[in-house]
Amino acid sequence: MAAEKDEQKDAEPEGLSATTLLPKLIPSGAGREWLERRRATIRPWGSFVDQRRFSRPRNLGELCQRLVRNVEYYQSNYVFVFLGLILYCVVTSPMLLVALAVFFGACYILYLRTLQSKFVLFGREVTPAHQYALAGGVSFPFFWLAGAGSAVFWVLGATLVVIGSHAAFHQTEAVDGEELQMEPV
């Protein structure tokens, strides 16, 4: 078993890759397992963006069928499109970066403080959940000034437009047993 892991490490190229970064960025648990499942079921990006596979649906029935099938088929790709739009929104908004830095900085300070001793405020011990709520309360004005609310709605709107238009105009993959369909007369 250890020899297999060593061979796997030797086979990986040096540098930053998703397999080396993922364990460091996301702690073990349900979130990490979910992201691993998404990465495992991702469809090839070449077929995802192939321009020859885009066409206008003939009628409303075909549009609905494309939406349902493409969302099911490209679900993992759409998750990464959503994450990319979030990253774009955060990187292009300096004030949002500052607000996130304040929030995560406050959380990190609270984490380090709880490692040393219990946090006591006005003679009472403060639970970690309350400490993180306090960090959110402290950073709330920064999020408000940065326009985090509008950023959230921009990301949701952009995601719906991008994913909805891709799912509506991308031709569906042929599924076994559904080549012949009879239309009602």
Give residue limits of the domains in the chain: 56-169
Q: Which of 159, 153, 32, 160 is nearest to 84 (CA)?
A: 159
DSSP state of 74: T
69 close to 120: Cβ distance less than 8 angstroms: no
Cα→Cα distances 146→89, 95, 97, Å: 12, 5, 9
Question: Residue 64 has which token pair?
Answer: 């609905």
Residue 161, pLDDT score: 96
> Per residue of the chain (185 residues), what is the pLDDT tens digit?
444 444 444 444 444 444 444 445 556 677 777 778 877 888 888 888 888 889 999 999 899 999 999 999 999 899 999 999 999 998 898 899 888 888 888 888 888 888 887 877 788 888 888 888 888 888 888 888 888 889 999 999 999 999 999 999 998 876 554 555 556 76
Helix axes 128-146, 94-116, angle to 10 degrees: 160
Q: What pTM was computed for the model? A: 0.66
The Cβ of residue 170 has, within 10 Å, a number of other Cβ atoms equal to 21
Residue 167, pLDDT score: 93
Burial of 69 (0-12, 13-18, 19+ CB in 10 A): middle
Residue 21, pLDDT score: 45
